[in-house]
Amino acid sequence: MKISVIIPVYNAEKYITYAVESALQFDEVWEVILIEDKSPDNALQVCKSLADKYSKVKLFQHPDKNNHGPGESRNLGILKSTGDFIAFLDADDYYLPNRFDAENVLFKYPEIEGVYGALGVEYYSEKARKQYYTIFKNHLTTVYKRHPPSDIFLGQINMQGRFGLFTLDGLTIRKESLFKIDSLFKPHLGYHEDTEFLIRLSYYLDLYPGILEEAVAIRGVHENNRITKIDAKIINSATTRVLLWKEINEWAEREEGIPEDIKLHIKRMHRSLKLLMLQN
């Protein structure tokens, strides 16, 4: 296996070294691609030092050297990658030693296009714990049962009851399979671009469960990362959810292969969230 690990870097000078070195512990990791996204801190210099120190670390910026957000940075990382498999890691998160254990077994079968595992959580300060424990607690972010690939899309759009979630940090994809999807990350969505990408990915690709009962990667929670620095009420507001489901609804309407009953469910999800937003 030759895995390209893609890390968008923004305002993460304190964390990026640990993230990179957590990826470099694996022989399977062919390269670690850092996309530095015009950080306001000293992250660029730290990334340069990492690229100088480790031959597997490759550093890029956007052509205009400006800030484009994590979605567009991941898209650039995919384009720059040379491995056969793609994995993602946020700059303030890290991999555990079991990160690719399931992949080493499952990717021997060519029909398997993606493998997902569970994500744990670590609070980097007591202040972060006090602020965000009600959001993340100490729970795993995981799919609750082992499902066949045909169920994953339905589970992600809330048609399989209590299903659970998988995340980018725990996902590995065959790079060639990405050509099946209609587009990569959609940066204009902001907070939900990863969720929207995973929903479409689960429709186009056969995704299989890896390690679900314990974490394969850790979400680092602190006061200054892109998401947790925004008040939780804003993140979870009806407004951002409406934008997400509007995008999913528009995609589903264009996708001829989606059955009409599923399209109707997606449309109803969008409408109900829009109505909730208007009521509030």
> Looking at the domain 3-236, which fold is it?
Spore Coat Polysaccharide Biosynthesis Protein SpsA; Chain A (3.90.550)
Which pTM was predicted?
0.93
State both tokens at 158. 């809330």
C-beta of residue 24 within 8 angstroms of C-beta of residue 95: no
Q: What is the pLDDT along the chain (280 residues), one digit of tens a residue?
A: 999 999 999 999 999 999 999 999 999 999 999 999 999 999 999 999 999 999 999 999 999 999 999 999 999 999 999 999 999 999 999 999 999 999 999 999 999 999 999 999 999 888 888 887 777 888 899 999 999 999 999 999 999 989 999 999 999 999 999 999 988 999 888 788 999 999 999 999 999 999 999 999 999 988 775 544 444 444 445 678 889 999 999 999 999 999 999 999 999 999 988 887 777 6
Q: Helices in the chain by DSSP H: which ranges?
A: 16-24, 43-53, 69-80, 101-106, 126-136, 149-156, 193-204, 232-235, 238-254, 260-279
CA distance 211 to 98: 9
Task: Kindly tell me the burial class for residue 99, based on how many C-beta atoms sit within 10 Å of its own C-beta (0-12, 13-18, 19 or more).
Answer: buried
- Locate the domains of the chain by residue range: 3-236, 237-280
